[in-house]
Amino acid sequence: MFVERSIPVVLAIRSNQRGNVTVIESDNVMAGREAARHLLSLGHKSFGAILGPQDTSTAQSRYQGFQEQLEASGIVMDPSRVIWGTYT
């Protein structure tokens, strides 16, 4: 609607599926890593996660970063402690 009318549009946070709109997106992988680093710095050794919908790039990327940081620290999170839900 906006693009067809030549109205400038910028999306924040979510990936652009159409390819014709400017996107400003957070580095969600890095956000996941930073969350894990913070918890590790507090001395935590056992983890679980409550995430957004499994079919969203945002939730997947944050989980990926979290997992990567844990694995780099020699910790494997039990998959039964991961809950994919909604953002509500």
Q: What is the mean pLDDT of residues 3-25?
A: 69
Identify the pLDDT of residue 81.
96
> Shortest CA distance to 37 belongs to which of 70, 64, 71, 82?
70
Instruction: Locate 30 and state its tokens.
Output: 């890095």
Q: What angle do CA 47, 49, 35 make, to 5 degrees?
A: 75
Identify the pLDDT of residue 73.
96
For the chain, the straight-line distance linking the first and the last C-alpha, in angstroms and rounded, comes to 28
Q: pLDDT, tens digit, for every residue of 46-71? A: 999 999 999 988 899 999 999 999 99
Q: What is the pTM of this model?
A: 0.76
Q: What is the mean pLDDT of residues 20-40?
A: 89
In the block, tokens 């652009």 appear at 16
Give the distance between the most distant pair of CA atoms in the chain.
Answer: 54
In the block, tokens 């050794």 appear at 45
